[in-house]
Amino acid sequence: MSLRLDPREHAPLFLRLLVSLVAGLAALLLVAIPVMAAGANPFEAYLLMAQGAFGSMFALSETLNRATPLILTGLAAAVAFRARLWNIGAEGQLYMGALAAVMVGSGFLQLPAPLAIPAIMLAGFLAGGLMMVIPAMLKQRFGADEVVITLLLNFVVILFIQMLIEGPLKDPLAMGWPQSVPLVAEARFDKLIPRLRMHWGLIVGLVAALILWLMVKRTVLGFEIKAVGENKAAARFAGIPVDATMLKVALISGGLAGLAGVSEVAGVKGYLSADLSPGFGYSGIVVAMLAGLSPIGSVLAAIFIAAVFVGADSMSRATGISNYLADLVVALSLLCVLVGGFFLRFRLRWQSRQEA
């Protein structure tokens, strides 16, 4: 008997779902090792995490609150990766979106609520989008790798934000804390349920996922993005404007990440600070990969990742195990789903071999 690999012709939907599910579970199982190394009982830890993430209305609201930016950054990564545009800069785009929201929505423009919210969303979308269009153009014009540039821009943006909130945008009433002037009340997202932190940003994320799903399945743009992503040469030969399509993808991807920033400012904090995002941009990559780059899947994956973070925080408070455990789960999920991708491309087969 020997093991051999056969290329798969199709990976049916259930298999793709299964791979994501197994990858998430495998990541959770693998962290039992560090949990035990930290001297705790893994089953207890899992139970505490589950309770912390889903155990009450409050916990659920916290999880969905945490999932909101992850849905948007996950979609940002998914749409870019579909076109083989490696946007690793969602973190920076998120901050630029948040910055734009604050600049437009902190009283500088006097707008009534029905206009203020669309205005900050549009501004955030464009600011985030621009932040990705620039590297995409540098790639087209100069052949410069977008991966490294988007990664490096993340550092530039955060320094830029620090500069502004310690300088021109600093809130004079914040008792010296480096944070921006707040958004006016008209520009803030309402809570979905009184006394819980979940806010309208979640609806924004869900609608964005639906629109993206529609785009992928039903529109010419989705068709062209797929062609460009899967085979640039054939797409170009067939007359699809490859460069223009890539720029559209960059705008959408960066824009979605920018919306995540808007949502955090308008829905959670109310102002901009340099700790607005604990790595939502990077986690978005994991969300997208766990979702198999599917827009609807991104919603589910974002909720999973959010639950891990919220659950780990709560478990950490109870047991003293470091909440970096959550980051471990996230990283392992990415690697596990990557390995799962291997099984989507190949099937393992036992075969008997007669010795010739």
Phi and psi at residue 87, to the nearest 5° = -90, 100
Shortest reach from residue 294's CB to other proteins, in Å: 15
Shortest reach from residue 331's CB to other proteins, in Å: 4
Specify the stretch interacting with other proteins by CB under 8 A; choose among 48-56, 93-101, 110-118, 279-287: 279-287
3-state secondary structure of 180: strand
Question: What residues are paired with 261 via a beta bridge?
Answer: none
Longest dimension (CA), the chain: 84
User: Encoding tokens for residue 82?
Assistant: 């579909």
Is 163 near other proteins (CB under 8 A)?
yes
Phi and psi at residue 2, to the nearest 5° = -145, 160
Shortest reach from residue 46's CB to other proteins, in Å: 16
Is 177 near other proteins (CB under 8 A)?
no
User: d(Cα 326, Cα 323) in Å, to the nearest integer?
Assistant: 6
Size, binding site for other proteins by CB under 8 A: 68
Shortest reach from residue 200's CB to other proteins, in Å: 28
Which residue in the set 149, 202, 276, 310 belongs to the binding site for other proteins (CB under 8 A)? 149
User: Encoding tokens for residue 75?
Assistant: 């979609």
Is 170 near other proteins (CB under 8 A)?
no
Which residue in the set 100, 111, 302, 328 belongs to the binding site for other proteins (CB under 8 A)? 328
Is 44 near other proteins (CB under 8 A)?
no
Is 147 near other proteins (CB under 8 A)?
yes
User: d(Cα 13, Cα 144) in Å, to the nearest integer?
Assistant: 36
Phi-psi region of 293 (alpha: psi -120 to 50; beta: other; left: phi over 0): left
User: d(Cα 270, Cα 12) in Å, to the nearest integer?
Assistant: 44
**Side-chain half-sphere of 275: how many Cα atoms within 13 Å?**
2
Is 321 near other proteins (CB under 8 A)?
yes
Residues found near other proteins in the complex (CB under 8 A): 9-10, 34, 37-38, 86, 88, 138, 142-145, 147-149, 151-156, 159-160, 162-163, 166-167, 218-224, 226-227, 230-231, 233-241, 282, 285-286, 289, 320-322, 324-325, 327-328, 330-332, 334-335, 338-339, 341-342, 356
